[in-house]
A and B are shown apart, each in its own frame.
Chain A
Amino acid sequence: MARYGLTVRDEAGGDAKEFVDRLRAGEPKAFEELVVTYQHRVFGVALRMLRNAAEAEEVSQEAFLRAHRALADFRGDAKLSTWLYAIVSRLCLTRLASGERRMARQGEEILMRLANSEGDPSDALERGEVEAALHRAIAELPEDRRIVVVLRDLEGLSYEEIAQALDLELGTVRSRLHRARMDLKDKMERFLP
């Protein structure tokens, strides 16, 4: 992973120009590096949004394939990561809105399995319970707020990047994020010290 990260990103945190040029030239190895570097993040967004691993993988693959087809037209106005987040976010929202989802809500069990069970068993049990509650709280957020929380608090995008990825006004991003956090705080109240 590290070697790919060094290739994809330059020291300032932006995309390495040489790497972007290789991608735009259609070099297969460059595309492989892109997938290896961003696979977990793209899949993470899809899983948080769709709450189903199979659907999340399907949408993540589609996101990379669309990126592959559009790489020649990538102008570099946004970071590669923002561009990929934009693609997968829109695919998830489209799928959620279309009602074509094949599987029922099994997401809570899947998300609960993500809880880390390492360390002291009692701590793990308590931590697992907290994380399960948190996953459930995230899953119960409205989709337009959930995507903002996922991109901001789980993926670490800035307000500006979220606005760019979701094609929203900055104020809209701020208000949706605030309301989403308020909902999460209220639902997690009993776990707070």
Chain B
Amino acid sequence: MNYHETRDWLSPYLDEALSADERARIDAHLQDCTECRGELDRFRQTLTLLHRLDPPRAPVGFVDRVLAQARPLPWYRRWVARVFLPLPVKLPIEAAALVVMLSIGAVYLFQRTPELRQAAREETPQATVRSETRTSPPPASSPEGFRARSVERGLQAEPESDKPKVQRKVAGAKPPLPSSEPVKPSESVPAPSVQAEAKKEEQAAGSVAAPRSSDLRAPAAPSPASPPAQNRADVSKERAQDSASPLLRPSGAAKSALGTAIVAGRLAVKDREAAEQALSDLLNRLKATELSRRRDSTGLVVEVLVSKDAYPELTQGLARIGSWTLEAEPAELPAQVPMRLRLLE
């Protein structure tokens, strides 16, 4: 083994990482070579310096920091981190998604809730009036018109959720028939306040239909076009009645007779069942036609058609059954008098 070969093996020689044979060969060379012995000494001294170095120490708190990181996070912290972190990225996306979801939810709710749609319609009264001008019912002075109105009221007595359907049905109804007996509105108005409300309704209708001012100022001389305008007002009023408090309905019924030939009245009785039976007997005896009979929250509403001749006897009979209060009566009665009776207990 020569000088160069020996130098390559000095490192493992010092580490005692050689086999016995390799070590014996190097020992033999070192005995004869002073240079290699000097090199071995310098190697050993260098390693001595290395071994004297103080080992570094981990900083204070190192163990706690490692353990804190190794400890599993509680589920809610992991959930928050997964959902919200990194904030600058996820927060805007989540906010936008929330707005979109709320918008979709609001539209869905609006479409599914008739009350909300009804409220939205009421916020645009002119549009409602326009639709009503197209759906004016036939004048109630004729028996056909009265029957049509009865049908309409029966439909309006249905739950709120069916109201849109009712309006569509009304829109598809027959066009109004010309009235053969125009009624003077002033003669059928029972109270000034009611008259004022009727005027408001007519003004609202007039914003679209533009009735002549003489229709409002001079009711004593109505033009042939005035009955449809009055009927428009009737429709508006009666729809308002349906959405109003039940306590207001009797007066609302009286208002519905404005401008029509309907006789309306309230019959207060002590025993409703007995009164109903007595009323039926009375109608049969006078050969009056019962058009409809329905119950609402205030009582029983009966609509009948009675001849002009039998009308006085009917009112007398009603006064015998209970306390009869006439709410509306046209000045001139037609041959067949339509009546609406409301039985109250």
- The answer for the CA separation of A160 and B56 in the assembled complex, in Å, is 24
Of the candidates B8, B56, B69, B71, the one whose C-beta lies within 8 Å of that of A178 is B8
Cβ–Cβ < 8 Å partners of A181 in chain B = 11, 43, 46-47
B123 at the A interface (CB under 8 A): no
Say how far A20's CB is from chain B's closest CB, in angstroms: 17
**A48 vs B54: C-alpha distance when bound (angstroms):** 12
Contact between A134 and B66, CB atoms less than 8 A apart: no
Residue A22, interface by CB 8 Å: no
A contact residues around B71 at 8 Å (CB): 28
Report the nearest A residue to B57, measured CB to CB.
A40
Q: How many A residues touch the partner, as a band? A: 35 or more
Q: Are A32 and B53 in contact (CB under 8 A)?
A: no
- Whether, in the assembled complex, A166 has its beta carbon less than 8 Å from a beta carbon of chain B, the answer is no
Question: Is B54 within 8 A of A134, CB to CB?
Answer: no
A35 & B63 in contact (Cβ 8 Å cutoff)? yes
| Interface pair B69/A65, CB less than 8 Å apart | yes
**Bound CA–CA A116/B52 (angstroms):** 10
Instruction: Scan residues 23-69 of chain A and give those whose CB is less than 8 A from a CB of chain B.
Output: 28, 31-32, 35-36, 39-44, 47-48, 53, 56-57, 60-61, 64-65, 68
Hey, which chain A residues are within 8 Å of B46, CB to CB? 181, 184-185, 188, 192
Would you call B58 and A185 a contact (CB within 8 A)? Answer: no
Question: Does chain A have a CB within 8 A of B96?
Answer: no
User: Chain A contacts of B59 at CB under 8 A?
Assistant: 43, 53, 57
Which residue of chain B has its CB nearest to the CB of A69?
B70
Question: Interface 1/0s, chain B 1-24, versus A by CB < 8 A?
Answer: 000000010111001010000000
- Contact present for B63 and A32 (CB under 8 Å): yes
With A154-B50, A178-B12 already in contact, the answer to whether A39 and B56 are too (CB < 8 A) is no
- CB of B69 within 8 A of CB of A185, answer no
Q: What is the CA–CA distance of A66 and B62 in the complex, to the nearest angstrom? A: 16
Other-chain residue from A35, A56, A158, A189 in contact with B66 (beta carbon distance below 8 A):
A35
In angstroms, Cα B47 to Cα A152, docked, is 10
Give Cα A68 to B69, complex, Å: 10
Assess whether B192 is interfacial by the CB under 8 Å rule.
no
Cross-chain contact B42 with A192 (CB below 8 angstroms): yes
Contact A43 to B43, CB < 8 A, known contacts A61-B69, A153-B50, A174-B11: no
Q: Chain B contacts of A188 at CB under 8 A?
A: 46, 49
Which residues of chain A are near B50, meaning CB under 8 Å?
Answer: 134, 149, 153-154, 184
Query: Is A131 close to B, CB under 8 A?
Result: yes
> Across the interface, which residues of B come within 8 angstroms of A191, CB to CB?
49
Q: List 14 A-B contacts (CB under 8 A).
A: A35-B62, A39-B66, A41-B55, A43-B62, A47-B56, A57-B59, A61-B65, A61-B69, A65-B70, A153-B50, A174-B17, A181-B11, A181-B43, A188-B46
- In the complex, given contacts A39-B62, A53-B59, A188-B49, what are 4 additional A-B residue pairs having Cβ atoms less than 8 angstroms apart? A114-B54, A153-B50, A184-B50, A188-B46
Return the 10 tightest CB-CB contacts between A and B, nearest first. Answer: A178-B11, A43-B58, A39-B58, A44-B56, A153-B50, A185-B46, A68-B70, A47-B56, A64-B66, A192-B45
Which residues of chain B have a CB within 8 Å of any CB of chain A? 8, 10-12, 15, 17, 42-43, 45-47, 49-59, 62-63, 65-67, 69-71
